[in-house]
Amino acid sequence: MPISASSRARRSGALATAIAVVATTVATAAPSTGDLQQRIQGTQQREQGVQGAIQHENAQIARAQRHIDDIDAQLAGLQQQLALERAQLEQVQQQLRTERGRLLRLQATLGADRVALARQLVAQYEAPPDDVMTVVLHAHGFSDLIERMDDMSRLRKHNEVVTTDVAAARTAVAVETRRLAAIALRRQRIVDGAIVQRDEIAQLRLRAVGEQMKIVRARTRDRGQLGSLQQQEHGLQHTLSKIQAQETAAGALQTSGTIGGPGPGVTNAPFVSHGGSTGFFQAPGTNYSVGVEPIIAARLDRLGKALGLHLIGISGYRSPQHSVEVGGFPNDPHTRGEASDTPGVEGVSEATLEQFGLTRPFGGAAEADHIQLLGSA
């Protein structure tokens, strides 16, 4: 039935009112896109500055770690040298203890020998030994004489040798003891010096680790700041996408009262979910409330019912970040609320889609389920 002039006037007035309401909502509910883009750009510049600081701090931490590794290598070498010096010191000290024990034993032997000699002298004074004439007179034959003379000679020589040997050994041991004591003292000084050097380098390592930890804490603060800036940018991007989608919806309403031209399935009424086996069905977790997504869903629903298709909307509006994560772009039609990925519609011809005010703007099998409003692609 033809539409009367009064009806067309009423529709035009309603359309103008809707356009005005959308435009007013866009203008008053959120800042302008230009202001948001400037804020996003400023946030991105601050992010770049913080990222540069983090990179510089990473380089500083790496240099500090190399310095600490060098110090650790020095400490390992000193510790190995210290262990060697301590082992040598212990060896010398053990030798010194052995020689000192030997010296004490020789001193005791020498003392005993001196006591024995003293007793012999006293005995000789009190009862003088037989002289040679007495020995000759009392000898029982020549063999007995020779034996008594040999005994006297051996006793005298034994006393002389024992006394001489003990005294010489005592002197030699005393000299060796003094030599070992000097070596032990020198070794002890070397060990003490190595300990001091090791402790100084250990203190140097502590200072280096302290400086590194300061840089690590600064980097942690910068990473937190970077995360806050990225979250802020994400929020601004989300707000910008919503405003752009609202502006797109306002622009879509300006096209005669129906978007995409005449046709039996063309409607601007929003989609209402329903049961059944044919039509459009929104997948859980998807968003078909932003921009012109409700109109796309409604037209797909009429298309599915008309052709007996079960169409599943697996992706409507997406945030720029989500779009990138699933393989799209930060400014693709989904981020403006202008597209739907709808498995089940791949076999529908472009001419049939146009009858329902829809279009498949991108060619190729991978984009066969990507649907937008006719005239908005």
Quick one: which of 48, 55, 56, 32 has its CA closest to 233? 48
pLDDT (tens, 9 = 90+) of the chain, 377 residues, equals 333 434 443 444 443 444 444 444 444 444 678 888 899 899 999 999 999 999 999 999 999 999 999 999 988 998 898 888 888 888 888 888 888 887 787 777 767 766 766 676 566 556 555 555 555 555 556 565 566 555 556 666 666 666 677 677 778 778 888 888 888 888 888 888 889 888 998 999 999 999 999 999 999 999 999 999 999 988 888 887 677 656 654 554 444 344 444 455 566 778 888 888 899 999 999 999 999 999 999 999 999 999 999 999 999 999 999 888 888 888 999 999 999 999 999 989 999 999 999 999 988 888 899 999 988 65
74 and 201 in contact (C-beta within 8 Å)?
A: yes
267 and 302 in contact (C-beta within 8 Å)?
A: yes
Ordered DSSP codes for 295-316: HHHHHHHHHHHHHT-EEEE-B-
Residue tagged 């000084």 (tokens): 189
Please give the CATH topology (third level) of the domain spanning 255-373.
Muramoyl-pentapeptide Carboxypeptidase; domain 2 (3.30.1380)
Exposure on the CB side of residue 96, measured as CA atoms within 13 A: 16
Residue tagged 């009806």 (tokens): 7
271 and 301 in contact (C-beta within 8 Å)?
A: yes
* Cα distance between residue 248 and residue 187, in whole Å: 89
pLDDT tens-digit series, residues 145-155: 566 555 556 66
Tell me the domain boundaries of the chain: 59-228, 255-373
* Cα distance between residue 240 and residue 231, in whole Å: 14
* Cα distance between residue 90 and residue 190, in whole Å: 13
Length of the chain: 377
Q: What dotted CATH number matches 59-228?
A: 1.10.287
Residues 6+ apart with CB under 8 A from 355: 263, 264, 265
pLDDT tens-digit series, residues 113-139: 667 666 765 665 565 555 555 555 555
* Cα distance between residue 355 and residue 348, in whole Å: 11
> How many C-beta neighbours within 10 Å does residue 219 have?
18
Same fold, 59-228 and 255-373: no
* Cα distance between residue 322 and residue 328, in whole Å: 8
* Cα distance between residue 277 and residue 265, in whole Å: 19
Burial of 276 (0-12, 13-18, 19+ CB in 10 A): exposed
* Cα distance between residue 241 and residue 161, in whole Å: 116
Using DSSP's 3-state secondary structure scheme, residue 31 falls into coil
